[in-house]
DNA sequence: ATAAAATGATAGCTTTACTATTATGTACAA
DNA sequence: TTGTACATAATAGTAAAGCTATCATTTTAT
Protein backbone atom coordinates (compact mmCIF):
# COMPACT_ATOMS: atom_id res chain seq x y z
CA UNK A 1 0.00 0.00 0.00
CA UNK A 2 1.25 3.50 0.70
CA UNK A 3 3.30 2.64 3.78
CA UNK A 4 7.06 2.64 4.00
CA UNK A 5 7.23 -0.35 6.31
CA UNK A 6 4.72 -2.88 7.49
CA UNK A 7 5.50 -4.74 10.67
CA UNK A 8 4.42 -8.16 11.82
CA UNK A 9 2.13 -7.72 14.78
CA UNK A 10 0.70 -10.42 17.06
CA UNK A 11 -2.85 -10.80 15.80
CA UNK A 12 -4.30 -10.84 19.29
CA UNK A 13 -3.45 -7.14 19.56
CA UNK A 14 -6.10 -6.18 17.02
CA UNK A 15 -9.24 -7.50 15.39
CA UNK A 16 -8.00 -6.37 11.99
CA UNK A 17 -4.58 -5.06 11.04
CA UNK A 18 -4.85 -1.26 10.90
CA UNK A 19 -1.68 -1.06 8.78
CA UNK A 20 -3.70 -2.45 5.85
CA UNK A 21 -6.32 0.27 5.36
CA UNK A 22 -6.65 4.03 5.18
CA UNK A 23 -8.93 4.19 8.20
CA UNK A 24 -6.61 1.88 10.12
CA UNK A 25 -3.64 4.14 9.51
CA UNK A 26 -5.73 7.16 10.54
CA UNK A 27 -6.57 5.35 13.75
CA UNK A 28 -2.91 4.62 14.45
CA UNK A 29 -1.73 8.15 13.68
CA UNK A 30 -4.45 9.91 15.60
CA UNK A 31 -4.57 7.60 18.60
CA UNK A 32 -0.85 8.34 19.06
CA UNK A 33 -1.55 12.07 18.81
CA UNK A 34 -4.47 11.92 21.18
CA UNK A 35 -2.99 9.60 23.81
CA UNK A 36 0.14 11.72 23.91
CA UNK A 37 -1.98 14.85 24.28
CA UNK A 38 -4.57 13.86 26.88
CA UNK A 39 -3.14 10.65 28.38
CA UNK A 40 -4.36 7.08 28.16
CA UNK A 41 -6.94 7.40 30.97
CA UNK A 42 -8.79 10.29 29.33
CA UNK A 43 -8.46 8.77 25.84
CA UNK A 44 -11.69 7.25 24.47
CA UNK A 45 -12.72 5.78 21.13
CA UNK A 46 -15.41 8.42 20.91
CA UNK A 47 -12.88 11.26 21.06
CA UNK A 48 -10.64 9.43 18.59
CA UNK A 49 -13.55 8.88 16.19
CA UNK A 50 -14.47 12.56 16.34
CA UNK A 51 -10.86 13.54 15.61
CA UNK A 52 -10.80 11.46 12.44
CA UNK A 53 -14.42 12.18 11.43
CA UNK A 54 -15.39 8.57 11.83
CA UNK A 55 -17.52 6.67 14.33
CA UNK A 56 -16.93 4.70 17.49
CA UNK A 57 -18.32 1.58 15.82
CA UNK A 58 -15.74 1.80 13.05
CA UNK A 59 -12.86 1.98 15.52
CA UNK A 60 -14.28 -1.02 17.36
CA UNK A 61 -13.87 -3.05 14.16
CA UNK A 62 -10.10 -2.72 14.55
CA UNK A 63 -9.71 -2.98 18.30
CA UNK A 64 -11.79 -4.63 21.02
CA UNK A 65 -11.05 -1.75 23.38
CA UNK A 66 -8.50 0.95 24.08
CA UNK A 67 -6.34 -1.42 26.07
CA UNK A 68 -5.94 -3.65 23.02
CA UNK A 69 -5.03 -0.59 20.98
CA UNK A 70 -2.29 0.25 23.50
CA UNK A 71 -0.96 -3.32 23.25
CA UNK A 72 -0.92 -2.97 19.48
CA UNK A 73 1.06 0.28 19.61
CA UNK A 74 3.41 -1.37 22.11
CA UNK A 75 4.00 -4.37 19.84
CA UNK A 76 4.37 -2.08 16.82
CA UNK A 77 6.98 0.00 18.65
CA UNK A 78 9.05 -3.04 19.65
CA UNK A 79 8.81 -4.46 16.16
CA UNK A 80 9.94 -1.18 14.67
CA UNK A 81 12.85 -0.59 17.00
CA UNK A 82 14.07 -4.15 16.62
CA UNK A 83 14.14 -3.62 12.88
CA UNK A 84 16.00 -0.35 13.32
CA UNK A 85 18.49 -1.95 15.69
CA UNK A 86 19.01 -4.72 13.18
CA UNK A 87 19.76 -2.21 10.41
CA UNK A 88 22.01 0.02 12.46
CA UNK A 89 24.11 -2.74 14.05
CA UNK A 90 24.52 -4.86 10.92
CA UNK A 91 27.75 -3.15 9.87
CA UNK A 92 29.28 -3.17 13.36
CA UNK A 93 32.07 -5.62 14.07
CA UNK A 94 32.04 -6.59 17.76
CA UNK A 95 29.13 -7.81 19.82
CA UNK A 96 29.92 -5.24 22.49
CA UNK A 97 29.73 -2.47 19.94
CA UNK A 98 26.37 -3.79 18.72
CA UNK A 99 25.06 -3.99 22.28
CA UNK A 100 26.02 -0.46 23.16
CA UNK A 101 24.57 0.89 19.95
CA UNK A 102 21.28 -0.91 20.62
CA UNK A 103 21.05 0.25 24.23
CA UNK A 104 21.75 3.81 23.15
CA UNK A 105 18.95 3.62 20.61
CA UNK A 106 16.55 2.26 23.20
CA UNK A 107 17.35 4.98 25.71
CA UNK A 108 17.55 8.04 23.47
CA UNK A 109 14.38 10.05 23.05
CA UNK A 110 14.71 10.51 19.32
CA UNK A 111 16.89 8.52 16.97
CA UNK A 112 18.68 10.82 14.56
CA UNK A 113 18.56 8.18 11.82
CA UNK A 114 14.94 7.32 12.50
CA UNK A 115 13.36 5.53 9.58
CA UNK A 116 10.37 7.32 8.17
CA UNK A 117 7.05 5.85 9.08
CA UNK A 118 3.54 7.22 8.93
CA UNK A 119 3.37 8.02 12.65
CA UNK A 120 5.00 10.67 14.83
CA UNK A 121 8.01 8.77 16.20
CA UNK A 122 8.67 11.21 19.03
CA UNK A 123 5.12 11.02 20.34
CA UNK A 124 5.04 7.24 20.02
CA UNK A 125 8.26 6.97 22.03
CA UNK A 126 6.77 9.23 24.70
CA UNK A 127 3.67 7.04 24.84
CA UNK A 128 5.84 3.95 25.26
CA UNK A 129 7.73 5.68 28.08
CA UNK A 130 4.66 7.01 29.88
CA UNK A 131 1.89 4.53 29.11
CA UNK A 132 3.59 1.42 27.73
CA UNK A 133 3.95 -0.42 31.00
CA UNK A 134 0.19 -0.12 31.54
CA UNK A 135 -0.32 -2.54 28.67
CA UNK A 136 1.48 -5.12 30.80
CA UNK A 137 0.52 -4.27 34.37
CA UNK A 138 -3.03 -5.61 34.49
CA UNK A 139 -5.05 -8.70 35.27
CA UNK A 140 -5.51 -9.76 31.63
CA UNK A 141 -1.77 -10.09 31.08
CA UNK A 142 -1.66 -13.90 31.31
CA UNK A 143 -4.41 -14.36 28.73
CA UNK A 144 -2.97 -12.06 26.12
CA UNK A 145 0.56 -13.23 26.85
CA UNK A 146 -0.46 -16.80 25.96
CA UNK A 147 -1.55 -15.46 22.58
CA UNK A 148 1.80 -13.82 21.96
CA UNK A 149 0.87 -10.19 22.59
CA UNK A 150 4.34 -9.36 23.90
CA UNK A 151 6.42 -11.47 21.51
CA UNK A 152 7.98 -8.49 19.78
CA UNK A 153 9.30 -7.16 23.08
CA UNK A 154 10.44 -10.63 24.15
CA UNK A 155 12.32 -11.15 20.88
CA UNK A 156 14.24 -7.94 21.32
CA UNK A 157 15.08 -8.80 24.92
CA UNK A 158 16.24 -12.26 23.82
CA UNK A 159 18.42 -10.75 21.11
CA UNK A 160 20.16 -8.24 23.40
CA UNK A 161 20.27 -10.81 26.19
CA UNK A 162 22.08 -13.13 23.79
CA UNK A 163 24.66 -10.47 23.03
CA UNK A 164 25.27 -9.99 26.75
CA UNK A 165 25.71 -13.75 27.09
CA UNK A 166 28.35 -13.61 24.38
CA UNK A 167 30.21 -10.81 26.11
CA UNK A 168 29.97 -12.16 29.68
CA UNK A 169 29.14 -15.87 29.31
CA UNK A 170 28.79 -16.67 32.99
CA UNK A 171 26.47 -13.80 33.80
CA UNK A 172 23.12 -15.28 34.87
CA UNK A 173 21.04 -12.11 34.63
CA UNK A 174 21.31 -11.09 30.98
CA UNK A 175 17.61 -10.55 30.28
CA UNK A 176 16.98 -8.88 33.63
CA UNK A 177 19.77 -6.50 32.79
CA UNK A 178 18.17 -5.60 29.47
CA UNK A 179 14.69 -5.02 30.89
CA UNK A 180 16.05 -3.17 33.91
CA UNK A 181 17.85 -0.77 31.60
CA UNK A 182 14.96 -0.38 29.17
CA UNK A 183 12.18 0.01 31.72
CA UNK A 184 14.47 2.01 33.98
CA UNK A 185 15.28 4.47 31.21
CA UNK A 186 11.58 4.97 30.47
CA UNK A 187 10.78 5.72 34.09
CA UNK A 188 13.80 7.98 34.55
CA UNK A 189 12.75 10.03 31.53
CA UNK A 190 9.31 10.45 33.06
CA UNK A 191 10.83 11.39 36.43
CA UNK A 192 13.10 13.94 34.74
CA UNK A 193 10.05 15.71 33.31
CA UNK A 194 7.70 15.42 36.29
CA UNK A 195 9.43 14.28 39.47
CA UNK A 196 13.01 15.52 39.24
CA UNK A 197 13.68 14.81 42.90
CA UNK A 198 13.39 11.09 42.15
CA UNK A 199 16.27 11.32 39.70
CA UNK A 200 19.51 13.31 39.28
CA UNK A 201 18.57 15.71 36.53
CA UNK A 202 21.51 17.60 35.14
CA UNK A 203 22.01 20.31 32.57
CA UNK A 204 23.43 17.57 30.40
CA UNK A 205 20.45 16.04 28.63
CA UNK A 206 22.15 12.70 28.20
CA UNK A 207 22.52 11.89 31.88
CA UNK A 208 20.00 9.04 31.72
CA UNK A 209 21.96 7.45 28.90
CA UNK A 210 25.25 8.06 30.70
CA UNK A 211 23.99 6.46 33.90
CA UNK A 212 22.86 3.25 32.22
CA UNK A 213 25.79 3.00 29.81
CA UNK A 214 28.27 3.45 32.66
CA UNK A 215 26.43 0.82 34.65
CA UNK A 216 26.55 -1.60 31.74
CA UNK A 217 30.24 -0.91 31.15
CA UNK A 218 31.15 -1.53 34.79
CA UNK A 219 29.15 -4.75 34.87
CA UNK A 220 30.86 -6.07 31.77
CA UNK A 221 34.34 -5.16 32.98
CA UNK A 222 33.79 -6.58 36.43
CA UNK A 223 32.19 -9.82 35.26
CA UNK A 224 34.85 -10.43 32.67
CA UNK A 225 37.49 -10.09 35.40
CA UNK A 226 35.65 -12.54 37.63
CA UNK A 227 35.16 -14.92 34.73
CA UNK A 228 38.88 -14.96 34.02
CA UNK A 229 39.92 -15.39 37.65
CA UNK A 230 37.54 -18.33 38.20
CA UNK B 1 -7.40 5.29 68.22
CA UNK B 2 -7.05 1.54 67.91
CA UNK B 3 -4.21 1.54 65.41
CA UNK B 4 -0.67 0.42 66.08
CA UNK B 5 0.90 3.14 63.98
CA UNK B 6 -0.45 6.23 62.34
CA UNK B 7 1.53 7.66 59.50
CA UNK B 8 1.78 11.20 58.24
CA UNK B 9 0.21 11.34 54.82
CA UNK B 10 0.19 14.26 52.36
CA UNK B 11 -3.29 15.68 52.78
CA UNK B 12 -3.85 16.00 49.06
CA UNK B 13 -4.04 12.20 48.86
CA UNK B 14 -7.37 12.13 50.67
CA UNK B 15 -10.29 14.38 51.58
CA UNK B 16 -10.23 13.06 55.14
CA UNK B 17 -7.64 10.85 56.81
CA UNK B 18 -9.01 7.27 56.75
CA UNK B 19 -6.62 6.26 59.53
CA UNK B 20 -8.75 8.27 61.98
CA UNK B 21 -12.07 6.43 61.73
CA UNK B 22 -13.49 2.94 61.70
CA UNK B 23 -14.98 3.34 58.24
CA UNK B 24 -11.74 4.81 57.00
CA UNK B 25 -9.78 1.80 58.22
CA UNK B 26 -12.34 -0.51 56.64
CA UNK B 27 -11.87 1.35 53.37
CA UNK B 28 -8.10 0.96 53.56
CA UNK B 29 -8.21 -2.73 54.46
CA UNK B 30 -10.80 -3.68 51.90
CA UNK B 31 -9.56 -1.54 49.05
CA UNK B 32 -6.22 -3.33 49.42
CA UNK B 33 -8.00 -6.70 49.38
CA UNK B 34 -10.13 -5.78 46.40
CA UNK B 35 -7.49 -4.08 44.26
CA UNK B 36 -5.17 -7.04 44.84
CA UNK B 37 -7.95 -9.42 43.85
CA UNK B 38 -9.48 -7.81 40.77
CA UNK B 39 -6.87 -5.21 39.76
CA UNK B 40 -7.02 -1.44 39.81
CA UNK B 41 -8.86 -1.09 36.47
CA UNK B 42 -11.80 -3.28 37.54
CA UNK B 43 -11.85 -1.80 41.05
CA UNK B 44 -14.72 0.64 41.72
CA UNK B 45 -16.01 2.47 44.77
CA UNK B 46 -19.34 0.74 44.29
CA UNK B 47 -17.79 -2.72 44.62
CA UNK B 48 -15.75 -1.54 47.61
CA UNK B 49 -18.83 -0.08 49.29
CA UNK B 50 -20.72 -3.35 48.82
CA UNK B 51 -17.81 -5.31 50.30
CA UNK B 52 -17.88 -3.22 53.49
CA UNK B 53 -21.68 -2.80 53.63
CA UNK B 54 -21.45 0.89 53.12
CA UNK B 55 -22.30 3.23 50.27
CA UNK B 56 -20.47 4.83 47.38
CA UNK B 57 -21.24 8.27 48.78
CA UNK B 58 -19.52 7.41 52.06
CA UNK B 59 -16.34 6.32 50.31
CA UNK B 60 -16.39 9.54 48.30
CA UNK B 61 -16.18 11.46 51.57
CA UNK B 62 -12.67 10.05 52.05
CA UNK B 63 -11.35 10.08 48.50
CA UNK B 64 -12.19 12.16 45.43
CA UNK B 65 -11.78 9.12 43.21
CA UNK B 66 -10.03 5.77 43.02
CA UNK B 67 -6.88 7.34 41.67
CA UNK B 68 -6.56 9.46 44.79
CA UNK B 69 -7.07 6.34 46.89
CA UNK B 70 -4.19 4.67 45.06
CA UNK B 71 -1.98 7.69 45.72
CA UNK B 72 -2.92 7.49 49.37
CA UNK B 73 -1.99 3.81 49.59
CA UNK B 74 1.24 4.62 47.76
CA UNK B 75 2.14 7.39 50.22
CA UNK B 76 1.13 5.21 53.16
CA UNK B 77 3.36 2.39 51.93
CA UNK B 78 6.40 4.67 51.55
CA UNK B 79 5.76 6.22 54.93
CA UNK B 80 5.53 2.81 56.51
CA UNK B 81 8.60 1.33 54.90
CA UNK B 82 10.68 4.39 55.68
CA UNK B 83 9.72 4.00 59.32
CA UNK B 84 10.60 0.30 59.21
CA UNK B 85 13.93 1.03 57.55
CA UNK B 86 14.62 3.62 60.21
CA UNK B 87 13.95 1.10 62.97
CA UNK B 88 15.86 -1.77 61.44
CA UNK B 89 18.97 0.20 60.48
CA UNK B 90 19.24 2.22 63.70
CA UNK B 91 21.50 -0.32 65.40
CA UNK B 92 23.73 -0.88 62.38
CA UNK B 93 27.23 0.62 62.42
CA UNK B 94 28.32 1.43 58.87
CA UNK B 95 26.45 3.38 56.24
CA UNK B 96 27.05 0.60 53.71
CA UNK B 97 25.47 -1.92 56.06
CA UNK B 98 22.45 0.37 56.51
CA UNK B 99 22.15 0.84 52.75
CA UNK B 100 22.20 -2.86 51.99
CA UNK B 101 19.70 -3.62 54.73
CA UNK B 102 17.35 -0.96 53.37
CA UNK B 103 17.63 -2.12 49.76
CA UNK B 104 16.98 -5.70 50.86
CA UNK B 105 13.85 -4.61 52.69
CA UNK B 106 12.63 -2.70 49.66
CA UNK B 107 13.16 -5.63 47.32
CA UNK B 108 11.94 -8.53 49.43
CA UNK B 109 8.31 -9.51 49.03
CA UNK B 110 7.64 -9.91 52.73
CA UNK B 111 9.70 -8.56 55.58
CA UNK B 112 10.16 -11.20 58.28
CA UNK B 113 10.17 -8.54 61.01
CA UNK B 114 7.22 -6.68 59.52
CA UNK B 115 5.61 -4.40 62.04
CA UNK B 116 1.98 -5.19 62.66
CA UNK B 117 -0.47 -2.87 61.05
CA UNK B 118 -4.16 -3.19 60.32
CA UNK B 119 -3.68 -4.02 56.65
CA UNK B 120 -2.44 -7.11 54.81
CA UNK B 121 1.21 -6.22 54.24
CA UNK B 122 1.78 -8.83 51.56
CA UNK B 123 -1.16 -7.67 49.47
CA UNK B 124 -0.22 -4.03 49.89
CA UNK B 125 3.31 -4.77 48.69
CA UNK B 126 1.90 -6.59 45.68
CA UNK B 127 -0.32 -3.60 44.89
CA UNK B 128 2.69 -1.27 45.10
CA UNK B 129 4.59 -3.59 42.75
CA UNK B 130 1.77 -4.02 40.23
CA UNK B 131 -0.27 -0.83 40.41
CA UNK B 132 1.89 1.71 42.26
CA UNK B 133 3.53 3.24 39.22
CA UNK B 134 0.07 4.02 37.82
CA UNK B 135 -0.38 6.58 40.59
CA UNK B 136 2.53 8.46 39.02
CA UNK B 137 2.23 7.81 35.29
CA UNK B 138 -0.64 10.11 34.39
CA UNK B 139 -1.45 13.62 33.29
CA UNK B 140 -2.42 14.90 36.73
CA UNK B 141 1.02 14.15 38.17
CA UNK B 142 2.29 17.75 38.10
CA UNK B 143 -0.73 19.09 39.97
CA UNK B 144 -0.65 16.56 42.77
CA UNK B 145 3.13 16.64 42.93
CA UNK B 146 2.99 20.37 43.67
CA UNK B 147 0.81 19.52 46.66
CA UNK B 148 3.31 17.00 47.98
CA UNK B 149 1.56 13.77 47.02
CA UNK B 150 4.85 11.94 46.53
CA UNK B 151 6.82 13.44 49.39
CA UNK B 152 7.01 10.18 51.35
CA UNK B 153 8.63 8.42 48.40
CA UNK B 154 10.93 11.37 47.76
CA UNK B 155 12.05 11.45 51.38
CA UNK B 156 13.03 7.81 51.29
CA UNK B 157 14.90 8.25 48.02
CA UNK B 158 16.71 11.27 49.48
CA UNK B 159 17.67 9.26 52.57
CA UNK B 160 19.09 6.29 50.66
CA UNK B 161 20.59 8.61 48.06
CA UNK B 162 22.37 10.39 50.91
CA UNK B 163 23.82 7.12 52.14
CA UNK B 164 25.12 6.35 48.66
CA UNK B 165 26.70 9.81 48.56
CA UNK B 166 28.49 9.00 51.81
CA UNK B 167 29.79 5.72 50.46
CA UNK B 168 30.79 6.95 47.00
CA UNK B 169 31.02 10.74 47.29
CA UNK B 170 31.79 11.48 43.66
CA UNK B 171 28.98 9.39 42.22
CA UNK B 172 26.57 11.74 40.45
CA UNK B 173 23.64 9.34 40.10
CA UNK B 174 22.74 8.41 43.67
CA UNK B 175 18.99 9.00 43.47
CA UNK B 176 18.70 7.47 40.01
CA UNK B 177 20.40 4.41 41.38
CA UNK B 178 17.88 4.13 44.20
CA UNK B 179 14.81 4.55 42.01
CA UNK B 180 16.24 2.28 39.32
CA UNK B 181 16.67 -0.48 41.89
CA UNK B 182 13.31 0.08 43.57
CA UNK B 183 11.21 0.44 40.42
CA UNK B 184 13.27 -2.23 38.70
CA UNK B 185 12.65 -4.72 41.48
CA UNK B 186 8.91 -4.09 41.34
CA UNK B 187 8.79 -4.71 37.60
CA UNK B 188 11.03 -7.77 37.77
CA UNK B 189 8.76 -9.31 40.40
CA UNK B 190 5.81 -8.78 38.09
CA UNK B 191 7.73 -10.23 35.15
CA UNK B 192 8.69 -13.27 37.22
CA UNK B 193 5.01 -14.01 37.84
CA UNK B 194 3.62 -13.18 34.42
CA UNK B 195 6.29 -12.69 31.75
CA UNK B 196 9.21 -14.92 32.77
CA UNK B 197 10.90 -14.55 29.39
CA UNK B 198 11.52 -10.88 30.19
CA UNK B 199 13.56 -11.86 33.22
CA UNK B 200 15.88 -14.69 34.32
CA UNK B 201 13.68 -16.59 36.70
CA UNK B 202 15.54 -19.22 38.68
CA UNK B 203 14.64 -21.87 41.20
CA UNK B 204 16.22 -19.58 43.72
CA UNK B 205 13.50 -17.20 44.83
CA UNK B 206 15.93 -14.45 45.74
CA UNK B 207 17.36 -13.94 42.29
CA UNK B 208 15.81 -10.48 41.93
CA UNK B 209 17.43 -9.42 45.18
CA UNK B 210 20.73 -11.02 44.18
CA UNK B 211 20.77 -9.25 40.84
CA UNK B 212 20.26 -5.81 42.32
CA UNK B 213 22.51 -6.32 45.35
CA UNK B 214 25.34 -7.58 43.14
CA UNK B 215 24.85 -4.59 40.86
CA UNK B 216 25.01 -2.21 43.81
CA UNK B 217 28.08 -3.93 45.21
CA UNK B 218 29.95 -3.75 41.93
CA UNK B 219 29.05 -0.09 41.48
CA UNK B 220 30.31 0.79 44.96
CA UNK B 221 33.56 -1.16 44.58
CA UNK B 222 34.28 0.25 41.15
CA UNK B 223 33.46 3.85 42.03
CA UNK B 224 35.53 3.75 45.19
CA UNK B 225 38.50 2.54 43.16
CA UNK B 226 38.02 5.37 40.68
CA UNK B 227 37.58 7.88 43.48
CA UNK B 228 40.87 6.85 45.08
CA UNK B 229 42.84 6.85 41.84
CA UNK B 230 41.67 10.39 40.98
C1' DA C 1 -28.72 16.45 76.88
C1' DT C 2 -27.46 18.66 72.98
C1' DA C 3 -24.86 20.05 69.06
C1' DA C 4 -21.81 18.57 65.67
C1' DA C 5 -20.07 15.26 62.83
C1' DA C 6 -20.23 10.96 60.39
C1' DT C 7 -22.72 7.70 57.97
C1' DG C 8 -26.65 5.61 55.39
C1' DA C 9 -30.27 5.69 52.00
C1' DT C 10 -31.82 7.17 47.90
C1' DA C 11 -31.93 9.49 43.63
C1' DG C 12 -30.21 11.25 39.63
C1' DC C 13 -27.01 12.80 36.07
C1' DT C 14 -23.15 12.50 32.66
C1' DT C 15 -19.74 9.82 30.46
C1' DT C 16 -17.64 5.52 29.18
C1' DA C 17 -17.69 1.30 27.03
C1' DC C 18 -19.58 -1.16 24.49
C1' DT C 19 -23.33 -3.88 20.81
C1' DA C 20 -26.69 -4.10 17.17
C1' DT C 21 -28.98 -2.69 12.99
C1' DT C 22 -29.47 -0.65 8.85
C1' DA C 23 -27.90 2.25 5.16
C1' DT C 24 -24.44 3.90 2.07
C1' DG C 25 -20.43 3.88 -0.57
C1' DT C 26 -16.60 1.49 -3.04
C1' DA C 27 -13.95 -2.08 -5.36
C1' DC C 28 -13.54 -5.83 -8.11
C1' DA C 29 -15.18 -9.67 -10.80
C1' DA C 30 -18.38 -11.82 -14.15
C1' DT D 1 -22.66 -2.92 -16.38
C1' DT D 2 -24.48 -5.21 -13.00
C1' DG D 3 -24.03 -7.82 -9.03
C1' DT D 4 -21.78 -9.00 -4.98
C1' DA D 5 -18.83 -8.49 -1.21
C1' DC D 6 -16.84 -5.68 1.88
C1' DA D 7 -15.78 -1.44 4.54
C1' DT D 8 -17.54 2.34 6.59
C1' DA D 9 -21.19 5.60 8.31
C1' DA D 10 -25.25 6.68 10.81
C1' DT D 11 -28.06 5.86 14.38
C1' DA D 12 -29.81 3.88 18.43
C1' DG D 13 -29.63 1.69 22.59
C1' DT D 14 -27.83 -0.57 27.03
C1' DA D 15 -25.19 -1.33 31.27
C1' DA D 16 -21.85 0.19 34.09
C1' DA D 17 -18.65 3.73 35.85
C1' DG D 18 -17.99 7.93 37.97
C1' DC D 19 -19.61 11.04 40.10
C1' DT D 20 -23.04 14.86 43.02
C1' DA D 21 -26.90 16.21 45.93
C1' DT D 22 -30.28 15.80 49.58
C1' DC D 23 -32.07 14.36 53.65
C1' DA D 24 -32.64 11.05 57.43
C1' DT D 25 -30.36 8.65 61.01
C1' DT D 26 -26.79 7.30 64.01
C1' DT D 27 -22.59 8.16 66.57
C1' DT D 28 -19.44 11.05 69.02
C1' DA D 29 -17.66 14.74 71.62
C1' DT D 30 -18.80 18.44 75.21
At A91, the pLDDT band (50, 70, 90 cuts) reads very high
Q: What is the pLDDT of residues B209-225, one digit of tens each?
A: 999 999 999 999 998 88
Q: What is the pLDDT of residues B78-122, one digit of tens each?
A: 999 999 999 999 999 999 999 999 999 999 987 766 777 899 999
Q: In whole angstroms, give the CA distance from residue B226 to residue A153.
A: 36
Q: How many Å is the maximal CA-CA distance in chain A?
A: 66
Q: Is some CB atom of chain B closer than 8 A to the CB atom of A165?
A: no
Question: Are residues B186 and B132 in contact, defined by beta-carbon separation less than 8 angstroms?
Answer: yes
Across all residues in chain A, what is the average pLDDT?
93
Q: Is some CB atom of chain B closer than 8 A to the CB atom of A152?
A: no
Question: Are residues A32 and A127 in contact, defined by beta-carbon separation less than 8 angstroms?
Answer: yes
Q: Which residues, other chains included, contact B133 with Cβ-Cβ below 8 Å and sequence gap of 6+? A: A133, A137, A187, B183, B186
The predicted structure's pLDDT at residue B116: 73
Q: What is the pLDDT of residues A154-183, one digit of tens each?
A: 999 999 999 999 999 999 999 999 999 999
Across all residues in chain B, what is the average pLDDT?
93
Please give the tally of structural domains in chain B: 1
Residue B49 domain flag: no
The predicted structure's pLDDT at residue B110: 79
Asked whether residue B6 carries a pLDDT value surpassing 90, the answer given is no
Measured CA A45 to C1' C23 distance, in angstroms: 22
Asked whether residue A1 carries a pLDDT value surpassing 60, the answer given is no
Nearest residue to B120 via CA among B184, B214, B32, B225: B32
Nucleotide nearest to B1 (CA to C1'): D28
CB neighbours (10 Å) of residue B15? 13
Average pLDDT over residues B27-43: 98
* B58 CB less than 7 Å from any atom of strand C: yes
Residue A147 domain flag: yes
**Which of B78, B171, B173 is the best substitution to test chain A (most A C-beta atoms within 10 A)?**
B173
Residue A114 domain flag: yes
The predicted structure's pLDDT at residue B224: 83
Q: Is some CB atom of chain B closer than 8 A to the CB atom of A193?
A: no
Q: What is the pLDDT of residues A9-61, one digit of tens each?
A: 999 999 999 999 999 999 999 999 999 999 999 999 999 999 999 999 999 99
Asked whether residue B204 carries a pLDDT value surpassing 70, the answer given is yes
Residue B69 domain flag: no
Asked whether residue A3 carries a pLDDT value surpassing 60, the answer given is no
Q: Is some CB atom of chain A closer than 8 A to the CB atom of B179?
A: yes
Asked whether residue A229 carries a pLDDT value surpassing 70, the answer given is no
Residue B50 domain flag: no
Chain B stretch 52-111, residues whose beta carbon is closer than 8 A to a beta carbon of chain A? none
Question: Are residues B62 and B16 in contact, defined by beta-carbon separation less than 8 angstroms?
Answer: yes
The predicted structure's pLDDT at residue B2: 38
Q: What is the pLDDT of residues B172-200, one digit of tens each?
A: 999 999 999 999 999 999 999 999 999 99
Q: Closest to B195 (Cβ–Cβ): which among A136, A139, A172?
A: A136
- Where in the sequence is the domain holding A140, given as residue range(s)? 73-229
Question: Are residues A138 and A150 in contact, defined by beta-carbon separation less than 8 angstroms?
Answer: no
Residue B11 domain flag: no
Q: In whole angstroms, give the CA distance from residue A108 to residue A209.
A: 7
Cα torsion B117, B120, B121, B126: sign: negative
Nearest residue to A183 via CA among A135, A147, A145: A135
Higher pLDDT, A115 or B59: B59
The predicted structure's pLDDT at residue B223: 86
* A22 CB less than 7 Å from any atom of strand D: yes
Residue A165 domain flag: yes
Q: Is some CB atom of chain A closer than 8 A to the CB atom of B33?
A: no
Residue B208 domain flag: yes
Residue whose CA is minimally distant from D28 C1': B21
**Which of A137, A147, A186 is the best substitution to test chain B (most B C-beta atoms within 10 A)?**
A137
Amino acid sequence: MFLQIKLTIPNCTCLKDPQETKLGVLIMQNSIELIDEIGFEAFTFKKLAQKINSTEASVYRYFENKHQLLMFLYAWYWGKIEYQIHVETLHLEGTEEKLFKAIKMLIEKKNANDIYTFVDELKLKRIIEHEGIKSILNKKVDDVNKNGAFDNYKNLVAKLGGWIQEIIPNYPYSKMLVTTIVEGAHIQHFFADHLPRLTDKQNDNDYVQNFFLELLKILITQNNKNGQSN
